[in-house]
Amino acid sequence: MSKNKWFYDSLEKERLAYDEGNCTLSTILVESFKRWDGLLQENEDDLQKLSSGRRSIRRRSRDILKAISKKLGPEVLLLCTSVTTIDKLALLDPSGLIFALQKWWDAASHPRLLAEATNAIREAYPLISRLRSLPAKESDGLAVVASDENSEPNYARSLYYRGVDVLGEPCAPHSVTCR
């Protein structure tokens, strides 16, 4: 049995949740993305402040994350960052990982809600915007709108999902502002 089976099973469960329309951009997902984004932005100077064990974990996770984004794109990246932690990602057996993920992704349906969530996250965080781009589109489900108050780019971003903001509160579309 594959050492990575738990990971593949978790990815499929998460993909099915998007396929069935049972996923939302929660506060937990947004906070998780902040951590993953921080990992991708780390440089060697940042890593030198950590113990050698932590450096190794963070490098392995970052390498796996970059390989996933390069070979499979932002939708699979979103699924991966949704189902695991930095520490657990580093424990995956990298041999055959990308091949197995590619085979799974090629055979799987690609849920519309997953593409919409990916576009929203891509707009809100540098993590995905630096990676393969999806066409930006607004839909009736999920969108991010960047407003340009006081001529400052990216001054505010509004995130909504079917009338529920990232904190789970009812809202009108585009009414939640994240600074």
Q: Where are the domains of the chain?
A: 5-117, 133-178
pLDDT in tens, 53-62: 999 999 999 9
pLDDT of residue 176: 30
Q: In this predicted model, what pLDDT tens digit does every residue of 105-161 receive, in sequence order?
A: 999 999 998 888 888 877 776 555 555 443 333 332 333 333 333 333 332 233 333
Instruction: Name the strands in the sheet holding 156-161, side by side, starting at the edge strand that comes first in the sequence.
Output: 142-147, 156-161, 177-178
Q: Cite the beta strand spans of the chain per DSSP E.
A: 142-147, 156-161, 177-178
pLDDT tens digits for 66-101?
899 899 998 999 899 989 999 999 999 999 999 999
